[in-house]
Amino acid sequence: MSDLYDDPTMFLFTPENANEPHDAYRKMRDECPVARGTGFDGVPEVTISRYEDVWHALRHPEQFSSAPDAVSIGQEHALIPLQVDPPDHSRYRRLLDPQFGPKRMAELEPGVREYVNRLIDGFASRGECDFHEEFATPLPSTVFLLLLGLPISDLPLLLQWRDNTVRPDVDPNDWDAAVAIREQTGREVNEYFERAIAQRREHPDDGLLSRLVHAEMEGRPLTQEELLGMCHLLMLAGLDTVTATLDCFIAYLAEHPEQRRRLVDDPTLSSGAVEELIRWETPVQMVARVLKEDTTLGGVELKKGDRAAIVIGAANSDEEAFGGADAVDFTRQANRHVAFGAGPHRCLGSHLARLELRVALEEFHRRIPEYRIAPDAHLKYSPGIRQTESLPLVFEPEAAAARGEVVAGTA
């Protein structure tokens, strides 16, 4: 295991700490809340893990910038609006925020609820499923494709690009191989969206991609580079983070039946459960920034050009910020977690994510109230974004099928 003081970021990225990160989070906060080290590629890096410091970094982009030099995933253009700082960032958010606002996302709920039940219909009578493959992956991915107006048949290709970018299949210590895969993938993603953009210019439809192609920002159309940057970011966010979050939620609830039964008995707890489980599990463990000026944080001097790993998972379990931080409480009040970020770069798709997660919890527990992880399964989480390779569940098929029949008969 990497030592915290030698390489604080790699310490977090060990398999053990990806599977169960809270001891690592505690060690980081207690022993070295602002830790200097070296990143994967030898660039000086600081790791920030205490809530107060994380909150400051997220809310001060003039110091902690999201510009492309904070992290490269092989993209050819800045990921918009993530890798653009204020004031330009604000212009893009004024264009994009209404597309993902609460009212527009609420309009999607009937369709999301119907699709969730169709997914459950596919395995309810079997008494078992791989939740990751049969539910957590297709749900947000299909919603994303329908939202953008992309063909469902393209999903396998997009998922492969997602995995190549987020978790390339190489030796974790082979940085050059990972860079090569990401750069090749970035070129392929660009070519795909160049064709998709050209098609929408000639043949507009009612999908989000078409609306962006024909949108104006402050009296001008978006450039090709801006559109490609938006599409690349939307692809990664739409295909990965909610899948990882669903994996984490259901794995936790399978291992904590008393908490699961609370949701079964009282579905009104689902919204609170989403907020609390995303705080406790924090699937996106950290976000990257780069220092734009010299500053001091937590008594540590930071230099312009340093990269910063902001460990939002550690911040979300900080006892100084959350009373009873180690207790999962679906009725927690004023839950100021940073799982969706904070400040100007707060997650653009948070309302969509909340909708998908809440509906998934409500319908899955209505249809399949009792489930557990398969006895021979050993869950393995990817680091950085905590997604399981598989999540085999077993449950009572008769009860699940019967609930499905009731739903079908009353629809």
Query: Hey, which residues are catalytic here?
Result: 167, 240-241, 347-349
- Contact 148/207 with Cβ under 8 angstroms? yes
Instruction: Give the C-alpha separation, 110 to 297, whole Å.
Output: 46
Residue 118 makes CB contacts below 8 A (sequence gap 6+) with none
Bridge-based pairing state of the strands 44-48 and 307-310: parallel
Backbone CA torsion sign across 139, 142, 146, 147? positive
Q: At what angle do helices 397-410 and 350-367 cross, to 10 degrees?
A: 110
CA angle 138, 140, 142 (to 5 degrees): 60
For residue 102, cis peptide bond before it (omega within 30 degrees of 0): no
Kindly report the backbone phi and psi dihedral angles of residue 74, in degrees, each rounded to the nearest multiple of 5, phi listed first.
Answer: 90, 5
Bridge partners of 35, per DSSP, are 47
Question: DSSP readout, 262-293?
Answer: HHHH-GGGHHHHHHHHHHHH-SB--EEEEESS
Q: What is the length of the chain?
A: 411
Name the strand (E) or helix (H) holding 192.
helix 175-202
Name the strand (E) or helix (H) holding 253.
helix 242-255
Compute the chain's Rg from CA coordinates.
21
Amino acid at 252: Y
Bridge-based pairing state of the strands 220-221 and 287-291: unpaired
Kindly report the backbone phi and psi dihedral angles of residue 277, in degrees, each rounded to the nearest multiple of 5, phi listed first.
Answer: -70, -35
Query: In a 10 Å sphere around its CB, with 0-12 CB exposed, 13-18 middle and 19+ buried, how is residue 253 labelled?
Result: buried
Which letter does DSSP use for residue 46 in this model?
A: E
3-class state of residue 327 by DSSP:
coil
Kindly report the backbone phi and psi dihedral angles of residue 6, in degrees, each rounded to the nearest multiple of 5, phi listed first.
Answer: -80, -40
- Contact 204/147 with Cβ under 8 angstroms? no
